[in-house]
């Protein structure tokens, strides 16, 4: 064998080894991606950066669980979401400890530590993003503005769901979320009709002159004047936010228009205003077959006995209900009523570290 032949043979062997190494690397990377635990939870900080969870999972939809703090009941709900959400979606967690008393803060901190240790959960303390009330406020946790900021800060996601802590599902979350995976709507939530005397049409609701064109307003059939138009003359339905999906484009328009001052008002009313301004945006209401979502309440009304799951009788499996307040259950997790609730609807009690 000549020296030239030996040289060519050596090059061929090197090329073959390189190709084999490349193939092994690609197979290893694919395996790592497929075996990454889908319930890993990430966070974002004040400049919008993240630990790039979606880059690893290649997921295009995020689920945000929003709660001011994690009581035992709310922690169990969060864990149920983590364990039953679709593998195709990333779960994030927002909280707000700024207005808690010391007892609540200690309890929430201990439960957060449990999720950090078991799931790698990281958390973010929600803060206001400059949007005027009543769209968002600190008492309710600034969750609406934080959701918009999150979507705009994470271009890797096309959509983000928000699940508030008084939303309950009788079964697993996976079937609910996967129902909408192929839906390209910009807003998905429960739609409710409102009469002109609705409180939020008359309190701190404003649509500036020339914000919405006459062409887009005509279909409402009840506009008397355009300049500084009254909300009750333009709007006639609202989008409930306890369970909502927002697209990247919708979040951008909503955030920009609210911060500019062109519109001002309650978050439930502003979705229709944005769609009238940007008619290419699509809204999809959640069917009553899969979700019984009603307007809720917080504060001194949250512990009312009527805000338990029992108020929705008959209760169906695999359906979402709101409001089901943890505060309504005086004999919370660990007692007979709550244990029966989890047993009847397919929940499991996870870990004694939840307090």
pLDDT category of residue 126 using cuts at 50, 70 and 90: low
Evaluate if residue 352 carries a pLDDT over 60. Answer: no
Look at residue 180 and tell me whether its pLDDT is greater than 90.
yes
Strands 291-293 and 61-66, sheet pairing: unpaired
What pLDDT, on the 0 to 100 scale, is given for residue 94?
84
Instruction: State how far the Cα of 161 lies from the Cα of 221, in Å rounded to an integer.
Output: 32
203 phi/psi in degrees, rounded to 5 = -125, 110
Q: What is the pLDDT of residue 218?
A: 47
Give the contacts of 259 (CB within 8 A, at least 6 positions apart).
130, 131
Measured distance CA(293)–CA(250) in Å, rounded: 22
Contacts of 206 (CB under 8 A, 6+ apart): 228, 231, 263, 264, 265
Mean pLDDT of 266-271: 90
What HEC string does the chain produce? CCHHHHHHHHHHHHHHHHHHHHHHHHHHHHHHHHHCCCCCEECECCCCCECCHHHHHCCCEEEEEECCCCCHHHHHHHHHHHHHCCCCEEEEEEECCCCCCHHHHHHHHHHHHHHHHHHCCCCEECCCCCCCCCCCCCCCCCHHHHHHHHHHHCCCCCEEEEEECCCEECCCCHHHHHCCCCCCCCEEEEEEECCCCCHHHHCCCEECCCCCCHHHHHHHCCCCCCCCCCHHHHCCEEEEEEEEEEEHHHHHHHHHHHHHCCEECCHHHHHHHHHHHCCCCCEEECCCCCEEECCCCCHHHCCCHHHCHHHHCCCCCCCEEECCCHHHCCCCCCCHHHHHHHHHCCCCCCCCCCC
Average pLDDT, integer, range 118-145: 71
Q: Residue 344: what pLDDT?
A: 78
φ, ψ at 8 (rounded to 5°): -65, -40
Q: What percent of the chain has pLDDT over 70?
A: 66
Taking residues 238-242, report their average pLDDT: 93
Q: For residue 173, what pLDDT is reported?
A: 95
Please check the confidence at residue 160 and state whether its pLDDT lies above 90. Answer: yes
Examine the pLDDT at 49 and tell me if it is beyond 50: no
Q: Tell me the β-bridge partners of 240.
A: 190
Return the closest-CA partner of residue 162 out of 296, 62, 308, 251: 62
Residue 163's pLDDT band (boundaries 50, 70, 90)?
very high
pLDDT mean across residues, the chain: 76
Residue 222's pLDDT is 45
Name the fold adopted by 41-195+238-344: Spore Coat Polysaccharide Biosynthesis Protein SpsA; Chain A (3.90.550)
Q: CB-hemisphere CA count at 13 Å for 227?
A: 0
Q: Which of 110-119, 145-154, 168-177, 217-226 has the lowest mean pLDDT?
A: 217-226
* Closest listed residue to residue 287, CA positions, set 193, 179, 182: 179
pLDDT at residue number 289: 92
User: Which pLDDT does position 256 carry in this prediction?
Assistant: 92
Q: What local confidence, expressed as pLDDT, does residue 349 receive?
A: 58
| Per-residue confidence band for 318, with pLDDT thresholds at 50, 70 and 90 | very high
Are 209 and 241 a contacting pair, CB within 8 Å?
A: no
> Which segment of 109-113, 119-123, 231-235 scores lowest on mean pLDDT?
119-123
The residue that leads in pLDDT, 18 or 58, is 58
Find the mean pLDDT for residues 329-341: 68
What percent of the chain stands above pLDDT 90? 29
Instruction: Give the pLDDT confidence score for residue 290 in this predicted structure.
Output: 92
This prediction has a pTM of 0.78
Please determine, for residue 17, whether its predicted confidence score (pLDDT) is greater than 70.
no
User: What are 287-310's pLDDT values in tens digits?
Assistant: 999 999 987 665 666 667 678 888
Tokens of 141: 């946790």
Q: Are the beta carbons of 83 and 181 closer than 8 angstroms?
A: no
Render pLDDT for 67-93 as a digit per residue (tens, 0 to 9): 887 888 888 899 999 889 998 898 888
């Amino acid at each position: 064998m000549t020296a030239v032949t030996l040289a060519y043979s050596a090059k061929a062997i090197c090329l073959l080894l390189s190709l084999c190494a490349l193939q092994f690397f690609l197979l290893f990377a694919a395996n790592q991606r497929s075996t990454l635990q889908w319930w890993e939870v990430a966070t974002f900080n004040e400049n919008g950066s993240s630990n790039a969870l979606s880059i690893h999972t290649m997921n295009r939809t995020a689920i945000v669980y929003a709660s001011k703090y994690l009581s035992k009941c709310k922690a169990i709900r969060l864990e149920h979401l983590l364990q039953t959400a679709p593998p195709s979606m990333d779960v994030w967690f927002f909280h707000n400890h700024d207005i808690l008393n010391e007892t609540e803060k200690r309890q929430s901190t201990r439960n957060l530590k449990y999720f950090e240790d078991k799931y790698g959960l990281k958390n973010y303390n929600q803060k206001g993003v400059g949007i005027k009330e009543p769209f968002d406020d600190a008492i309710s946790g600034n969750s609406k503005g934080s959701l918009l900021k999150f979507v705009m800060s994470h271009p890797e996601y096309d959509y983000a769901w928000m699940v508030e802590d008084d939303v309950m599902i009788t079964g697993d979350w996976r079937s609910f979320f996967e129902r909408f995976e192929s839906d390209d709507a910009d807003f998905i939530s429960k739609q409710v009709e409102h009469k002109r005397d609705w409180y939020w049409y008359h309190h701190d609701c404003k649509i500036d002159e020339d914000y919405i064109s006459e062409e887009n307003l005509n279909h409402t059939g009840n506009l008397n004047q355009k300049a500084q138009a009254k909300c009750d003359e333009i709007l006639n339905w609202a989008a409930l936010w306890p369970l909502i999906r927002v697209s990247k484009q919708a979040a951008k328009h909503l955030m920009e228009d609210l911060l500019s001052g062109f519109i001002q008002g309650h978050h439930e009313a502003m979705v229709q205003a944005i769609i009238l301004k940007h008619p290419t945006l699509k809204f999809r209401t959640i069917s009553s077959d899969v979700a019984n979502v009603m307007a809720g309440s917080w504060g001194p009304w949250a512990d009312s006995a009527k805000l338990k799951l029992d108020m929705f009788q008959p209760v169906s499996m695999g359906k979402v209900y709101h409001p089901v307040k943890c505060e309504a259950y005086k004999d919370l997790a660990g007692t007979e009523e709550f244990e029966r609730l989890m047993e009847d609807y397919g929940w499991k009690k996870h870990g004694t570290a939840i307090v």
